[in-house]
Chain A
Amino acid sequence: MLKKAVRPMAKIKQFFIPFFLFLFFLLLDGMVNVQFNSFFSFRSAEMVLRTLFIALYLFSFRLSHQQSLVFALLFGLLYDCYFTSILGIHMAALVIVVILVDWIKDRAHLNILTLGFFSIFIYLFYASFVFFLNHWLGFAQMSYWTFLISRFLPSLVLNTIFYFILYSPLQMIMNGLDLPPLEKLDI
């Protein structure tokens, strides 16, 4: 009886805590770019911090597929609306990320390293998708090869560091939210 009464509260927590967390990471990505842009860009190379991507990627393994999709749609739309006003680019990209995570989590043994390994491919897909859409719209005027060298690889290094920094705190938060542990997802 008591367990049943607690469940709605847990559901609310499972929505609002990730919501504010994703909002924080979205704002953090923009704020860091203001404060440290000169540090992140060196000659033609440029690093792009994607803490929102990292958080959504890690949460998608433990949230339900529907919940993850809602967050991807919501924060993709918010990202587009707040940063560029060209709606749809990050919304589509983040939804695809969630779909890929859903596909992976039924097929692989999951731990910090395998998650990190898969995140490289999913990040490559995410960054390339955003690049090609911007290229199509005329905002990205470099070749895909130049993009990989000057943007993707430096960003991958930066985001890998942040992945390892954020992994444990985010897993602890997810444990606190009573989300199913990664081990239970193992096949």
Chain B
Amino acid sequence: MNKYLSNKKLIGILISVIAIAALIALSVNRTKNVNPVQQGVNDITSLASQVITAPVNAVSNTFEAVDNLMHTYDENKHLKSRIQKTEELQAQLDAVEAEQKALEDELQLSHSLSEYEKIHGTVISRNPDGWIDQLVVDRGSENGVEIGMAVMSQNGLVGRVTEVSPLSAKVTLMTTANQRDNLVSAEIHVEQAGSDQTVDEQEEDHNEKESTEEIVHGVVEGYDQNTKRLIMEQITSNADLHEGQVVYTSGLSNQTPRSLIIGTIDEVTSGDFGLTQRVYITPAADFDDIRYVTIVKRLAEKAPEDMEASVQNEDQPEQDDQDVEESGTANGED
């Protein structure tokens, strides 16, 4: 006993345990971005990682290209069937956009909650542990990435930027448990008189049918690891939700734009106390295969809560800086 655990060693172990516990506690309770030293370390490591990732991605893309080539015939057949519909939709979209622009000019609006810019990035690393499901992407603050921005992959929302360095950023995926700062406010568009629409039709008609729809709000706040489905809670409405309906972001989160696809409803159950509904969502993105991401920068600057204050000042004429805020509110309450 004395040989291995002398007083000196015991004190050393005690100090080490306290130091590690303090380090973990400080890291977990961090509210701001990481310090410049950590940012530097992350950037240097991510640059080294890109050196390894680049050739691997090149080989992987070659195999994917060959695979795509083999499926060209089927894809072509499918796309041909959609061309006519796309042309019709484009014409409708042009008309709606022109109308929206005219209305925005009339109301002196700058950007709605649905407008956003995209920053494309490559995933260079992923936390092997999997307990905290985080990606490292090769885009950082120098590319305009900011903490809180929504991140998409394969047309579906996958998570949010939680840490930014000049040349790289970390994305926490929605599959992470205990995602305190990664909750997503979501909405489901429910037809008032019931609907027999398919998922594709719902996506296409999403923007134009809002007047005849009830919008059901909730929060995506969990992930079922066994069934690989997202869980949406806090649904206060008793609206008839059913399998196949599309779940979108509502734009009510801090920096997430509206109308990003999260997934489709797979199952509807009642919540823990039977007072609310719980929705299981099949994600639109494949969380197991994320190699390229699109970081989404919402053009409307502020969250709706902050904007309410600015709406109350609408009567004041000199508000050049607050035009963006008012535009967000007007659209957010649509």
Contacts and interface: CB of A to CB of B under 8 A. Distances in A.
Given A139-B176, A140-B177, A88 B20 contact: yes
Interface in A3-51: 23-24, 26-35, 37-38, 41, 43-44, 46, 48-50
B26 to A, nearest CB: 8
Given A37-B289, A82-B42, A29 B27 contact: no
Contact of A30 (B16, B21, B34, B136): B136
B141 interface: no
A86 B24 contact: yes
A87 interface: yes
B134 A27 contact: no
B65 interface: no
A182 interface: no
Interface string A92-117: 10010000000000000000000000
B221 to A, nearest CB: 13
A81 to B, nearest CB: 5
Interface centre among B34, B38, B131 (most CB of A within 10 A): B131
A179 interface: no
Interface residues of A, number: 46
A1 interface: no
B126 interface: yes
Interface centre among A34, A89, A141 (most CB of B within 10 A): A34
Interface residues of B, number: 46
B41 A82 contact: yes
B30 A85 contact: yes
Interface string B261-287: 000000000000000000000000010
Interface stretch (A59-67, A129-137, A168-176): A129-137
B291 interface: yes
Interface of B: 16, 20-21, 23-24, 26-28, 30, 34, 38, 41-42, 45-46, 48-49, 52-53, 56, 60, 123-132, 134-136, 163, 170, 176-178, 225-226, 286, 288-291
Q: Which 6 A-B pairs have the closest CB atoms?
A: A30-B125, A138-B178, A88-B23, A38-B288, A134-B131, A83-B127
